């Protein structure tokens, strides 16, 4: 051990080995963060199973069920007709609206599963629209020999999670109130509209249908969902206006908002989508191009999500990625004090310093699950700095030296928070930080005779006891 204390080169190699050993606790902490994040995802899934998941709204549309019938002829080898076999299949023709306009408000709600918080919303919206005049005679069979039996038309609306409906939507169809019924009959197996509700056309709506006139409709809907609301633009012109008291929206889908205003008290956003620019109709008719059967979210939608301003697990994961660098920078600073102040630090002392830095990240994770991330970071960093200041004051034999290294570690923690809070500029800030520290080290050691320092050194005298 005397060899290590007297040789600068061997001490540097030892510090490099201690720094690499810090990978072990840091990897364990990283795995714990991943595990806690997975537990949070399980909590979200459990709440979705118990209440409602993310919502995708499709419709209303008019469904015209019909049966196509044809006869297959069986002939013998001589070409004579031996038998006829009747066939039939049930199909549905979908009529999309000319206009769809939704205006509503999303009020944020927080629900809990254990220690985990999951974001929900309560949507209250008014929806208006119009269906064009339609002639059932325009429905053509697949072959000229087939005949069609047209069924009774119905209005249908589908949701990705029908349990989110807060009571039956109030519907006015052709000026008359109508009552919703469960499920959507008359659709082929595997249709994306299968999970929904319907209203048979009756009264004034049926009269308008039979007279080939347009049908206006109006609806009030109350809907609960988890985090994301998506709307399928099926009309010739689909417009929407949403406002919310949640100040952290995320706009996504295939069509971004044409106008959005985000403030500290909430947001407002408008969308306008034409069927000329959307493939949603064709995707719906084909059953969707991707995802699970019946998964409306796999189609072209526009959506908004009420997201958390800070994902503590993502932030903690990013912080741990800088853990090895923090250990190296702190040990380097302690080594500079040892080198230039003619002190001697034991490898065990360096090991304890490195371990205290790694425990900061564990403390940050534990606190951030209970309090705001900024508060958790400040408490964890403050505790780490206090511990290192007290420890350095003892091993470096002076409060000024301890406070100096404590201030240095404080600057490192402040720089790390800057990197975490500025994701877009993290690479630039990190590069500038490393360049600045390397430049400072090179300037401070530019006149050092490393060959002289690498030789045997006399141990520093112990301070006289009082």
pLDDT band at 301 (very low <50, low <70, confident <90, very high): very high
* Per-residue model confidence (pLDDT) at position 189: 64
pLDDT in tens, 125-166: 999 999 999 988 888 888 877 888 888 999 999 998 899 999
Q: What percent of the chain has pLDDT over 70?
A: 89
The pLDDT, as a whole number, for residue 341 is 66
Beta strand 99-113 pairing with 81-95: unpaired
The strand ranges marked E within 210-306 are 215-226, 228-231, 237-244, 249-253, 259-263, 266-274, 302-306
In angstroms, the Cα distances linking 167 to 52, 171, 181, 218, 466 are 14, 12, 12, 16, 83
Domains of the chain from N-terminus onward: 2-40+312-453 (no CATH), 54-74+81-306 (2.60.40)
Q: So what's the pLDDT on residue 466?
A: 39
In this structure, are residues 284 and 94 in contact, taking their beta carbons and an 8 Å threshold? yes
Secondary structure (3-state) at 113 = strand
Per residue in 335-348, pLDDT (tens digit) is 877 776 667 778 88
Which one has a higher pLDDT value, 379 or 397?
379
- Predicted pLDDT of residue 92: 87
pLDDT recorded at residue 433: 73
pLDDT band at 2 (very low <50, low <70, confident <90, very high): very low
How many CB atoms neighbour CB 250 within 10 A?
A: 12
| Model confidence band, residue 383 (pLDDT cutoffs 50, 70, 90) | very high
SS3 at position 93: strand
Please report, rounded to a whole number, the percentage of residues in the chain having pLDDT higher than 90: 32
CB atoms within 10 A of CB 176: 11
Instruction: Decide which of 15 and 239 is more confident.
Output: 239
Q: Are 314 and 179 in contact (CB under 8 A)?
A: no
């Amino acid at each position: 051990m005397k060899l290590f204390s007297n040789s600068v080169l061997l001490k540097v190699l030892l510090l490099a080995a201690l720094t690499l050993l810090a990978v072990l606790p840091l990897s364990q902490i990283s795995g714990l963060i991943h595990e806690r994040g997975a537990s949070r995802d399980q909590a979200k899934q459990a709440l979705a199973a118990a209440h409602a998941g993310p919502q995708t709204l499709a419709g209303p549309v008019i469904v015209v069920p019909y049966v196509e019938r044809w006869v297959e002829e069986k002939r013998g080898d001589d070409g004579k007709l031996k038998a006829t076999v009747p066939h039939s299949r049930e199909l549905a023709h979908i009529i999309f609206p000319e206009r769809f306009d939704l205006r509503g408000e999303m009020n944020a709600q927080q629900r809990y599963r254990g220690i985990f918080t999951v974001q929900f919303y309560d949507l209250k919206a008014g929806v208006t629209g119009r269906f064009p005049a339609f002639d059932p005679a325009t429905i053509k069979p697949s072959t000229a020999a087939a005949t069609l039996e047209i069924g009774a038309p119905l209005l249908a609306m589908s949701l990705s999670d029908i349990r989110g409906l807060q009571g039956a939507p109030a519907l006015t169809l052709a000026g008359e109130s109508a009552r919703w019924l469960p499920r959507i009959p008359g659709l082929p197996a595997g249709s994306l509209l299968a999970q929904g509700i319907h209203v048979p056309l009756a009264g004034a709506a049926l009269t308008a249908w039979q007279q080939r006139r347009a049908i206006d409709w109006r609806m009030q809907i109350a809907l609960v969902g988890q985090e994301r609301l998506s709307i399928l633009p099926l009309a010739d012109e689909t417009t929407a206006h949403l406002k919310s008291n949640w100040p952290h929206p995320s706009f996504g889908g295939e069509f971004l908002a044409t106008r959005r205003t985000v403030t500290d008290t909430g947001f407002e956003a408008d969308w306008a989508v034409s069927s000329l620019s959307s493939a949603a109709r064709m995707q719906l008719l084909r059953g969707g191009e991707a995802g699970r059967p019946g998964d409306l979210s796999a189609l072209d939608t526009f959506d908004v999500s009420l997201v958390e301003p800070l994902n503590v697990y993502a932030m903690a994961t990013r912080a741990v990625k800088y853990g090895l660098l923090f250990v190296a920078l702190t040990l380097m600073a302690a080594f500079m004090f040892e080198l230039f102040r003619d002190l001697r630090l034991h490898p065990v002392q360096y090991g304890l310093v490195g371990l205290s830095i790694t425990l900061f990240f564990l403390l940050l994770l534990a606190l951030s699950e209970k309090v705001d991330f900024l508060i958790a970071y400040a408490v964890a960093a403050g505790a780490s700095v206090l511990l290192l200041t007290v420890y350095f004051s003892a091993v470096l034999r002076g409060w000024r030296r301890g406070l100096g290294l404590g201030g240095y570690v404080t600057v490192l923690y402040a720089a790390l928070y800057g990197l975490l809070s500025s994701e877009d500029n993290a690479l630039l800030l990190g590069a500038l930080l490393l360049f600045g520290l390397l430049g400072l080290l090179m300037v401070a050691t530019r006149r050092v005779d490393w060959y002289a320092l690498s030789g045997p050194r006399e141990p520093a005298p112990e301070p006289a006891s009082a």
